[in-house]
């Protein structure tokens, strides 16, 4: 597994980091972990940050994409915000997927830009509950594992 899914702000912002090459199984496991957190989130206002800075590649296919975006269609889903500058093909698939499944989608180059955006659009976020340590852990040389979720 080359991903981690965890709360940045419990009930409000999920932080996901994906690195390396993803398999179909990785995608399904990440989606299941995301759905588990979204179930405890706020209706229509649980935002998902996805750090793709170290993401290299994943199998592509409409069926796989449909299966792996089930979490993004959850009723508690707010904004989907990819962070980083992935290769152009990954960026294109992200934009097409967001349009195909009518997702609220806004990519940013840095985590700081993403958090500033959320602060501007969602005044209900309780920033005092933020766990910045999760961002540091996600960027260590030894990437954390999602099976800890």
- 36-87: pLDDT as tens digits: 999 988 777 899 999 988 877 666 655 556 666 667 778 898 999 999 976 7
Task: Give tens-digit pLDDT for 94-124.
Answer: 788 888 888 899 999 999 999 999 999 999 9
pLDDT at 68: 63
pLDDT at 116: 97
149 is a domain residue: no
24 is a domain residue: yes
Cα-Cα-Cα-Cα dihedral of 50, 69, 97, 16, to 10°? 0
Q: Tell if the pTM clears 0.85, that is, is over it.
A: no
Q: State how far the Cα of 85 lies from the Cα of 87, in Å rounded to an integer.
A: 7
Range of the domain at 24: 3-141
67 is a domain residue: yes
Residue 139 φ/ψ, nearest 5 degrees? -105, 10
147 is a domain residue: no
pLDDT at 142: 47
7 is a domain residue: yes
What CATH number is attached to the domain comprising 31?
A: 3.30.750.24
129 is a domain residue: yes
In this prediction, residue 146 has a pLDDT band, given cuts at 50, 70 and 90, of: very low
Nearest to 36 by CA among 5, 8, 9, 67: 5
The domain total for the chain is: 1
84 is a domain residue: yes
Residue 111: count other Cβ atoms within 10 Å of its Cβ.
Answer: 20
Strands 77-83 and 13-21, how do they pair? unpaired
Query: Which distant-in-sequence residues (6+ apart) come within 8 Å of 15 by Cβ?
Result: 4, 5, 6, 7, 8, 49, 51, 134, 135, 138
77 is a domain residue: yes
pLDDT at 144: 44
Residue 25: count other Cβ atoms within 10 Å of its Cβ.
Answer: 9
């Amino acid at each position: 597994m080359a991903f981690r899914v965890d709360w940045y702000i419990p009930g409000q912002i999920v932080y996901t980091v994906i690195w390396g090459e993803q398999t179909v199984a990785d995608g399904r496991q990440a989606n299941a972990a995301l759905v588990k957190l979204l179930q405890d989130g706020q209706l229509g206002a649980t935002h998902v940050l996805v750090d793709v800075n170290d993401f290299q590649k994943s199998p592509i296919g409409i069926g796989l994409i449909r299966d792996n975006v089930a979490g993004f269609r959850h009723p508690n889903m707010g904004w989907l915000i990819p962070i980083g500058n992935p290769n152009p093909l990954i960026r294109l698939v992200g934009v097409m997927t967001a349009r195909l499944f009518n997702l609220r989608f806004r990519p940013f180059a840095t985590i700081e830009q993403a958090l500033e955006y959320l602060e501007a659009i969602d005044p209900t976020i309780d920033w005092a509950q933020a766990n910045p340590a999760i961002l540091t852990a996600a960027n260590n040389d030894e990437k954390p594992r999602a099976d800890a979720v």
